[in-house]
Chain A
Amino acid sequence: DTAVSQTPKYLVTQMGNDKSIKCEQNLGHDTMYWYKQDSKKFLKIMFSYNNKELIINETVPNRFSPKSPDKAHLNLHINSLELGDSAVYFCASSRTSGSSYEQYFGPGTRLTVT
């Protein structure tokens, strides 16, 4: 059984389009995250939700909007896509928002903006 799943795995789109990435976890975790991994492989946190409440919101363009319909799902919507948005986006989850808990990552969504 897949613990953290993301769809789609690959996303190729043109500049200016709007796209969404979906994430689901079946681990019963309370906290979910979105990370961006750029071409230099640095993994940076974008957002974190705990029980559907936004608790971490890094300096991310407001074209990026997370949405958590329930604590098992965290989707990422991106408006007006730009070339610089090309990256791999990872969803993750953990038991709580405490720092002592490991995070479980999804397989990633490779976004290519042309």
Chain B
Amino acid sequence: SQKIEQNSEALNIQEGKTATLTCNYTNYSPAYLQWYRQDPGRGPVFLLLIRENEKEKRKERLKVTFDTTLKQSLFHITASQPADSATYLCALAPGSAAGNKLTFGGGTRVLVKP
């Protein structure tokens, strides 16, 4: 069965450092991979999307890589700030024939300490 794994342990990091989160998957061939941020008591907020034929995507202090051979995506937050503290979710999506059915990982909580 399809499995998406994110580190369930919280990531504690010092302000200014780079936070790196992993998203590993098995029994899945996603066409797209998306990353979302979720704050307590709120809905997820879209951050970045990367396609299967893309190796890397950047947006401001965020960087995502996608390795379909390793079946892994890495999500980096550079120059982290306390405001970056949240849970980050990866979500995989098949090709358009299956609709926009996102399958989410369990999320990794990030705590940036000043």
- By a beta-carbon cutoff of 8 Å, the part of chain A in contact with chain B is 4, 31, 33, 40-45, 48, 50, 55-56, 90, 92, 94, 96-108
Answer whether residue B53 sits at the interface, using C-beta atoms and an 8 A cutoff. no
Contact B42 A97 (CB under 8 A): no
Closest to A108 in B: B43
> Given A40-B106, A41-B87, A41-B107, is A99 in contact with B93 using a C-beta cutoff of 8 Å?
yes
Contact A105 B32 (CB under 8 A): no
Closest chain-A Cβ to B66's Cβ sits at a distance in Å of: 14
A-B contact number at CB 8 A: 70
| Distance of A106 Cα from B34 Cα, bound (Å) | 18
Contacts of B16 in A (CB 8 A): none
Partner among A55, A90, A98, A99 whose Cβ is within 8 Å of the Cβ of B43? A90
Contact A105 B45 (CB under 8 A): yes
> Given A99-B94, A100-B49, is A45 in contact with B42 using a C-beta cutoff of 8 Å?
no
Closest to A100 in B: B32
| Distance of A100 Cα from B31 Cα, bound (Å) | 8
Residue picked from A44, A48, A103, A108, most chain B C-beta under 10 Å: A103
Contact A97 B45 (CB under 8 A): no
